[in-house]
């Protein structure tokens, strides 16, 4: 039945009233408000911890394999055969250096070679790069042993402290020359200590190396190379390197070799003992001649140093400069970070007489600039300053770094006697000397601009490429001399306001005027420490500034994708990239 219109109207009125008047009894009772519910927590799973294999693989991947070779097509057959003999002699520096880095290296390598597990093979691979079971890029952290790294490497008994060594020398003055000499290993003989000559300790490898050098001397037609190879073979048997160092200074040959005990970086106990190494190279006479003009300025560079006149030194100014391409390296020259240039010999008697030879490894310098240096610079500098990064400036910094090793104090007075600065500063010498060569190197490039030997337009490129290059070096680790020396420079520049970090990017804004001023100040400070032979002052400088600060740590964290260094392979020695 339908409702009548009147009833419908009444019903509608009542319904509207009920909606509008809350007191009308026909209203529905309000529903209770629902209680707010706590949302279920969102669980974000942390990424799984990397496995030991993944961690080690990441470390290995920081070293990029690169083939390095040279054009030997113009070499006559006798010189090509001589080159092969030099490579043969150079290979024999490897087993010697392995034992100098740590006496336990050969036995541990044999153990790792038997471990066919993935982790075992990775350990062996990194062991080969690091030349031992400790990570040179991470303060010698162990990765294939549970033993701490001995400061004296393989040159001393592992339990011998520096103070005990010095006390022995004080109690046995007749042992002083042998114990503090570059070319002895210190060992125990019952309750006593003894110095063992390198020529005896390493005769198993030095004798065949000497024969290979003599065979190369018999093959080459170059008289200067023949003379050096003959005298260096004698030195391997006698430990007297004076004459052969002088002969090496006079070598004028396309085929060249630098082979013998030179640097003392491995000896972190006292900085006394030299390691064996070898660089087999092919030189570029034209490129070398183009740089020869700078060596005539060495005496003037010395006089221009921002130090008192009594601190300045006179040394031989012959100082030949060689631009070469690497053919093969071995020993101390082939550990973790690869040397891009060197300045030898280190014997101050030879330097006073003949100067020192500066050798720039061109193919390695080019590989490092393209693979490492430019990517680092683009990260640590803002775009407007990164455009000034220059391979030419990088090459000049390398050259003048090596030239600067021949400048500044060479000797000091200790206990009333004239001694090498190296002896006075002990283990602090190497990082301080590398810092000196870096900062004095750029100081001298600026001097050459001032003299008109280099164009003024390159000045900004030089300063910015130098600054960025320090980040390349500090990534070697502050356990390594070049890395610690770089940390000293960077921290001093930041402290002086010459480099202002940006808080969020890891980049720096370089104030070129302040940087130039602080470069001069740091050259002065280091030279005065060396002149005084002040080990306490050297230690203080290294302790305060030779470390990775929080600012530097943040900047370095942005460089994870950039290789730390290259891993060289030498096709002319039978080493090639896997296909």
Per-residue pLDDT band for 417 (boundaries 50, 70, 90) equals confident
CA distance 50 to 328: 36
Average pLDDT, the chain: 91
Average pLDDT over residues 339-363: 91
Q: In this predicted structure, what is the pLDDT of residue 197?
A: 98
Cα gap 250→242, rounded to integer Å: 13
Tens digit of each residue's pLDDT (9 = 90 or more) over 123-159 = 999 999 999 999 998 989 999 999 999 999 999 999 9
Better-scored residue on pLDDT, 35 or 515:
515
Distance (Å, rounded) from C-alpha 365 to C-alpha 102? 29
pLDDT at 351: 86
Q: Is the pLDDT of residue 414 over 70?
A: yes
| Residue 16: pLDDT over 60 | no
pLDDT of residue 505: 87
In this predicted structure, the answer to whether residue 477 has a pLDDT above a threshold of 80 is yes
Percent of the chain with pLDDT over 90: 82
Q: What pLDDT is stored for residue 381 in this prediction? A: 97
Residue 372 DSSP class: I
Please compute the mean of the pLDDT values over residues 110-119 and round it to a whole number.
97
Q: What's the confidence (pLDDT) of residue 480?
A: 86
The pLDDT value given to residue 579: 80
Q: Which of 14-18, 153-157, 271-275, 290-294 has the lowest mean pLDDT?
A: 14-18
C-beta separation of 328 from 280 below 8 A = yes
Q: What is the largest CA-CA distance in the chain?
A: 136
The predicted pLDDT at position 40 comes to 67
Cα 161 from Cα 175, distance rounded (Å):
17
Could you tell me the pLDDT band of residue 8, with boundaries at 50, 70 and 90? very low
Interatomic CA distance for residues 439 and 421, integer angstroms: 18
Q: How many residues does the chain have?
A: 579
Classify residue 381 by its DSSP letter: B
DSSP percent split of the chain into helix, strand, coil, nearest 5? 55, 15, 35
Say yes or no to pLDDT of 3 above 60.
Answer: no
Q: Is the pLDDT of residue 1 over 50?
A: no
- The answer to whether residue 335 scores a pLDDT higher than 70 is yes
∠ at Cα 260 (577, 72), nearest 5°?
45
The pLDDT value given to residue 34: 63
Could you tell me which residues are beta bridge partners of residue 568?
66
Tokens found for residue 45 = 């799973």
Answer yes or no: is pLDDT of 317 > 70: no
Q: What is the pTM of this model?
A: 0.82
- Residue 235 pLDDT level (bands cut at 50, 70, 90): very high
When comparing pLDDT for 158 and 41, which is higher? Answer: 158
- In this predicted structure, the answer to whether residue 316 has a pLDDT above a threshold of 90 is no
Q: Which two tokens stand for residue 239?
A: 């430990």
- Give pLDDT tens digits for 377-393: 999 999 999 999 999 99
Per-residue pLDDT at 509 exceeds 80: yes
Q: How confident is the model at residue 30 (pLDDT cuts 50, 70, 90)?
A: low
Q: Omega into 148 within 30° of 0, i.e. cis?
A: no
Question: Is 9 a residue whose pLDDT tops 70?
Answer: no
CA-to-CA dists, residue 168 to 71, 174, 195, 288, angstroms: 53, 10, 12, 48
Say what the pLDDT of residue 512 is.
Answer: 98
pLDDT given at position 32: 62
């Amino acid at each position: 039945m339908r409702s009548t219109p009147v009833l419908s109207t009444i019903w509608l009125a009542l319904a509207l009233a009920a909606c509008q008047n809350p007191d009308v009894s026909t209203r529905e009772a309000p529903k209770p408000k629902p209680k707010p519910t706590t949302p279920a927590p969102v669980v974000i799973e942390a990424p799984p911890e990397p496995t030991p294999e993944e961690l080690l693989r990441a470390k290995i991947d920081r070293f990029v394999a690169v083939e390095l070779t040279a054009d030997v097509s113009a070499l006559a057959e006798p010189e090509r055969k001589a080159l092969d003999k030099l490579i043969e002699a150079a290979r024999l520096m490897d087993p010697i250096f392995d034992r100098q880095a740590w006496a336990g290296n050969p036995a541990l390598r044999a153990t790792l070679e038997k471990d066919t597990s993935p982790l075992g093979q990775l350990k062996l691979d990194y062991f080969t790069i690091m030349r031992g079971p400790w990570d040179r890029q991470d303060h010698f952290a162990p990765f294939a042993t549970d033993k701490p790294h001995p400061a004296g490497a393989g040159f001393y008994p592992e339990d011998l402290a520096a103070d005990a060594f010095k006390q022995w020398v004080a109690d046995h003055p007749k042992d002083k020359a042998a114990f503090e000499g570059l070319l002895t290993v210190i060992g125990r003989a019952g309750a006593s200590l003894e110095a063992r000559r390198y020529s005896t300790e390493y005769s198993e490898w030095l004798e065949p190396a000497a024969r290979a050098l003599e065979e190369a001397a018999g093959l080459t037609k170059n008289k200067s190379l023949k003379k050096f190879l003959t005298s260096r073979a004698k030195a391997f048997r006698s430990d007297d390197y004076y004459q052969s160092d002088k002969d090496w200074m006079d070598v004028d040959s396309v085929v060249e070799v630098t082979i013998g005990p030179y640097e003392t970086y491995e000896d972190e106990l006292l900085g006394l003992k030299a390691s064996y190494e070898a660089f087999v190279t092919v030189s570029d006479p034209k490129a070398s001649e183009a740089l020869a003009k700078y060596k005539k300025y060495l005496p003037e560079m010395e006089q221009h140093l921002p130090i008192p006149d009594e601190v300045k030194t006179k040394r031989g100014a012959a100082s030949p400069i060689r631009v070469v391409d690497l053919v093969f390296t071995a020993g101390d020259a082939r550990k973790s970070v690869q040397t891009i240039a060197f300045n030898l010999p280190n014997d101050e008697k030879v330097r006073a007489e003949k100067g020192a030879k500066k050798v720039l490894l061109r193919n390695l310098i080019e590989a490092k600039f393209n693979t490492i240096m430019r990517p680092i610079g683009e990260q640590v500098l803002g775009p407007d300053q990164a455009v000034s990064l220059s391979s030419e400036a990088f090459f000049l910094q390398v050259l003048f770094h090596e030239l600067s090793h021949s400048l500044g104090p060479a000797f000091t007075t200790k206990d009333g006697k004239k001694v090498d600065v190296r002896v006075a500063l002990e283990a602090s010498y190497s990082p301080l000397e590398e810092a000196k060569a870096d900062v004095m190197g750029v100081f001298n490039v600026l001097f050459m601009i001032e003299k008109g030997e280099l164009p003024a337009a390159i000045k900004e490129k030089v300063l910015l490429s130098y600054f960025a290059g320090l980040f390349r070096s500090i990534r070697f680790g502050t356990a390594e001399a070049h890395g610690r020396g770089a940390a000293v420079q960077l921290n001093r520049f930041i402290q002086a306001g010459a480099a202002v970090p940006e808080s969020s990017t890891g980049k720096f804004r370089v104030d070129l005027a302040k940087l130039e001023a602080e470069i001069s100040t740091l050259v002065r400070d280091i030279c005065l420490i060396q002149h005084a032979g002040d080990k306490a002052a050297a230690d203080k400088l290294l302790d305060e500034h030779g470390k990775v600060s929080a600012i530097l740590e943040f900047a370095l964290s942005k460089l994870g994708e950039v290789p730390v260094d290259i891993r060289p392979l030498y096709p002319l020695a039978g080493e090639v990239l896997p296909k």
